[in-house]
């Protein structure tokens, strides 16, 4: 066997991951993915090991519900054949390995910096010198936007090549939000520090990232969250989806100058995040998810409040959506705008709702279910046009679906379990991976421990890592004035990407 088969949120001894020459590693992983739409690379990363570089590749199989992990040890000055040259979905991973460890990849289509990480191999490369693709043309022009944008949003740079008003090419340059998150996971030793870090990876996906972290930690500690903790995490995850999707519908309306939709969806989000505050004291649910215990167990009083919130929310949400989807002025901006085809989405490894917008079924709740998701018999919402309108419809239908899941869960509230003892040390010499389905899509955390159970490497992958490229491709041949609504319909994370 050239890989070990593990499940989501499982930990295994590092030595159980088969090690092979790079050529075999290359062939094995390419063979797993090529012509297998049900498989994609969830994580491919490197770390230093006694002067060499250890590569670990994790391929998720959505039909078998497992993850195929393999490894290779290469020298620190290795120049390797690029897997991205064969399968584009490895593109970002290889760039990251190149940026951090100076490993060469022959045949890579564009081996450019990813985020100008603090611990990058070549410090002479700095963010103002990013090597954009240029144009040599009298007719075309470039438009640069950012890193500081017009609205209250995070920082990143967009460079358009346009023919008049039409976008021919967009290059998205990120890294401005880099805070050194993965390194801080190793340096900050207290569990509460690491939990706080997980909550701060992307402040709009607190539940998704913190659940991924807590589950990983529990796995590496040999513990498992009790039913009540899983229950609370599931309700919280679906509430986060409702809140952010609703807020995004508001922002999408803003970008097509539809004032009523902007205001109504904006105010509809308020009671949902205010419920988070009633539950755990924070509107974005920071403080709610903890490893080994639940500081805010769900109870009957909270359930009654939540039912009241949802009862008031749902009819107004449905009414506003039905109005939005019959307004010719909004539909003309949404339909056939920012379109991605199925093959494109598959080739670049798109995940989450950005994949589901055109028939690519990527949803960890179904494919690698965790917690109590198996009980919900989740059926992903799928659309088939890949345009802004598909992304609007996914949001609308996922909100309604999440409301129904929460209603279903609220019928039976479990009793809170006792807090568990958290072992001081993690399992030694181990590897673990933890996937959750945040509102954007698949969130991946992974860790490797050393011989005393200390963290040796911590990896975080936000769905935005892949999906930014989908946005860049989606806007080609669109009017540049449609860029804001395209961008908002994806609503990707800058800090989740930059870490």
Partner 1 sequence: MLRTIKILYHQGKQFIPDLRKANVPGIFRGRPEISLDKVDSQALADICPTNAITTSPVGIDLGKCTFCGECSRLFPGKIRFTTDYKLAANSRERLFIKEGLRTPVSLDPDLIRKDIQRMFRGSLKLRQVSAAGDNSCELELNACGNVNFDMGRFGIEFVASPRHADGIVITGPVSANMAEPLQITYDATPSPKIIILAGTDAISGGIFEGSPALNRKFIEENHIDLYVPGNPVHPLTFINGVMDLLGI
- List 86, 125, 188, 341, residue binding partner 1 (CB under 8 A): 188
13 touches partner 1 (CB under 8 A): no
Q: Give least dist CB 198 to partner 1, A.
A: 10
Site for partner 1 in 300-329 (CB under 8 A): 315-316, 319-320, 323
159 touches partner 1 (CB under 8 A): no
* Nearest CA among 371, 370, 353 for reference residue 362: 353
129 touches partner 1 (CB under 8 A): no
418 touches partner 1 (CB under 8 A): no
For partner 1, the closer of residues 287 and 338 by Cβ is 287
- CA dist., res. 383 & res. 360, Å (int): 9
User: Residue 39's beta-bridge partner residues?
Assistant: 61
Per-residue interface string for the shown chain with partner 1, residues 61-80, x marking contact by CB under 8 A: --------------------
CA 13 to chain centre: 26
153 touches partner 1 (CB under 8 A): yes
At 26 the three-state DSSP class reads helix
* Nearest CA among 51, 96, 57 for reference residue 78: 51
Bridge-based pairing state of the strands 455-461 and 39-49: unpaired
Query: C-alpha distances in angstroms, 402 versus 195, 246, 397?
Result: 25, 12, 9
At 147 the three-state DSSP class reads coil
- CA dist., res. 445 & res. 11, Å (int): 12
If binding means CB under 8 A, how many residues of this protein chain bind partner 1? Answer: 62
Q: Give least dist CB 495 to partner 1, A.
A: 5
For partner 1, the closer of residues 101 and 494 by Cβ is 494
Residue pair 116/122 in contact by the 8 Å Cβ criterion: no
207 touches partner 1 (CB under 8 A): no
192 touches partner 1 (CB under 8 A): yes
DSSP character at residue 144: E
Task: Name the segment binding partner 1 (CB under 8 A); options: 34-42, 158-166, 171-179, 391-399.
Answer: 171-179
Q: Give least dist CB 389 to partner 1, A.
A: 20
- CA dist., res. 210 & res. 273, Å (int): 17
- CA dist., res. 409 & res. 417, Å (int): 17
| Those residues with Cβ within 8 angstroms of residue 449's Cβ, 6 or more apart along the chain or in another chain | 14, 220, 426, 427, 428, 429, 430, 431, 455, 456
For partner 1, the closer of residues 175 and 371 by Cβ is 175
122 touches partner 1 (CB under 8 A): no
For partner 1, the closer of residues 262 and 358 by Cβ is 262
Tokens of 487: 């961008």
Task: Name the segment binding partner 1 (CB under 8 A); options: 11-19, 187-195, 220-228, 363-371.
Answer: 187-195
- CA dist., res. 233 & res. 107, Å (int): 43
Instruction: Give the number of other CB atoms < 10 A from CB of residue 470.
Output: 24
Task: Name the segment binding partner 1 (CB under 8 A); options: 174-182, 214-222, 328-336, 401-409.
Answer: 174-182
DSSP character at residue 380: -
For partner 1, the closer of residues 35 and 329 by Cβ is 329
- CA dist., res. 12 & res. 306, Å (int): 39
- CA dist., res. 416 & res. 39, Å (int): 37
178 touches partner 1 (CB under 8 A): yes
Q: Give least dist CB 410 to partner 1, A.
A: 18
Q: Give the sheet arrangement for strand 11-13, strand by strand.
A: 11-13, 430-437, 442-449, 455-461
- List 26, 72, 175, 474, residue binding partner 1 (CB under 8 A): 175
User: Residue 447's beta-bridge partner residues?
Assistant: 432, 458
- CA dist., res. 54 & res. 226, Å (int): 35
Q: Give least dist CB 220 to partner 1, A.
A: 20
For partner 1, the closer of residues 25 and 116 by Cβ is 116
For partner 1, the closer of residues 427 and 497 by Cβ is 497
203 touches partner 1 (CB under 8 A): yes
Site for partner 1 in 460-499 (CB under 8 A): 493-495, 498
Site for partner 1 in 238-297 (CB under 8 A): 247, 260, 263-264, 266-267, 270, 274, 277-284, 286-287, 295
Residue pair 272/308 in contact by the 8 Å Cβ criterion: no
Instruction: Give the number of other CB atoms < 10 A from CB of residue 63.
Output: 11
Length reported for the chain: 499
Task: Name the segment binding partner 1 (CB under 8 A); options: 6-14, 172-180, 382-390, 434-442.
Answer: 172-180
237 touches partner 1 (CB under 8 A): no
- List 147, 414, 428, 450, residue binding partner 1 (CB under 8 A): 147
Site for partner 1 in 419-448 (CB under 8 A): none
Give residues in contact with partner 1 (CB under 8 A): 116-118, 127-128, 147-148, 150-155, 175-180, 183-184, 188, 190, 192-193, 195-197, 200-204, 206, 247, 260, 263-264, 266-267, 270, 274, 277-284, 286-287, 295, 315-316, 319-320, 323, 493-495, 498
């Amino acid at each position: 066997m050239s890989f070990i088969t593990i499940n989501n949120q499982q930990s295994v001894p590092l030595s159980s991951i088969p090690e092979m020459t790079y050529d075999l590693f290359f062939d094995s992983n390419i063979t797993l993915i090529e012509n297998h739409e049900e498989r994609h690379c969830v994580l491919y990363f490197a770390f230093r090991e006694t002067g060499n570089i250890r590569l670990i590749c994790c391929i998720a199989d959505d039909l078998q519900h497992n993850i195929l992990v393999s490894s290779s040890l290469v020298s620190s000055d290795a120049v390797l054949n690029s897997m991205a040259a064969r399968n584009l979905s490895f593109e970002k991973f290889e760039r990251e390995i190149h940026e951090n460890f100076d490993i060469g990849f022959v045949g890579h289509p564009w081996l450019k910096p990813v985020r100008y990480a603090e611990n990058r191999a070549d410090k002479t490369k700095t963010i103002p010198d990013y090597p954009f693709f240029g144009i040599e043309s009298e007719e075309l022009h470039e438009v640069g936007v950012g890193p500081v944008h017009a609205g209250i949003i995070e920082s990143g740079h967009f460079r358009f090549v346009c023919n008049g008003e039409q976008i021919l090419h967009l290059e998205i340059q990120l890294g401005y939000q880099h805070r050194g998150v993965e390194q801080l996971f190793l340096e900050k030793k207290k569990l509460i520090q690491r939990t706080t870090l997980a909550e701060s990876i992307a402040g709009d996906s607190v539940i998704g990232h913190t659940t991924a972290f807590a589950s990983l930690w529990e796995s590496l500690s040999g513990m498992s969250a009790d039913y009540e903790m899983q229950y609370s995490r599931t309700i919280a995850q679906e509430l986060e989806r409702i809140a952010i999707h609703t807020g995004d519908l508001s922002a999408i309306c803003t970008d097509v100058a539809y004032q009523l939709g902007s205001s109504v969806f904006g105010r509809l989000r308020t009671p949902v995040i205010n419920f988070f505050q009633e539950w755990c004291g924070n509107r974005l649910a920071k403080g709610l998810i903890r490893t080994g215990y639940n500081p805010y167990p769900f109870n009957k009083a909270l359930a009654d409040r939540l039912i009241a919130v949802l009862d008031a929310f749902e009819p107004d949400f449905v009414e506003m959506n039905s109005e939005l989807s019959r307004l010719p002025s909004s539909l003309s901006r949404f339909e056939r705008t920012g379109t991605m085809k199925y093959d494109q989405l598959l080739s670049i490894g798109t995940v989450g709702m950005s994949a589901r917008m055109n028939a690519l079924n990527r949803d960890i709740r179904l494919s690698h279910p965790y917690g109590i998701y198996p009980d919900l018999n989740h059926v992903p919402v799928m659309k088939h046009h890949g345009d802004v309108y598909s992304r609007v419809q996914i949001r609308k239908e996922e909100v309604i679906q999440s409301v129904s899941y929460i209603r279903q869960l609220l019928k039976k509230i479990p009793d809170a379990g006792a807090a568990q003892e958290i072992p001081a040390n993690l399992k030694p010499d181990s590897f673990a991976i933890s996937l959750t389905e945040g509102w954007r899509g698949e969130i991946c955390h992974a860790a490797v421990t050393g011989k005393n159970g200390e963290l040796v490497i911590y990896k975080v992958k936000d769905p935005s890592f892949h999906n930014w490229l989908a946005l860049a491709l989606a806007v080609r041949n669109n009017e540049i004035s449609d860029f804001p609504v395209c961008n908002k319909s994806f609503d990707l994370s800058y800090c989740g990407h930059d870490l």
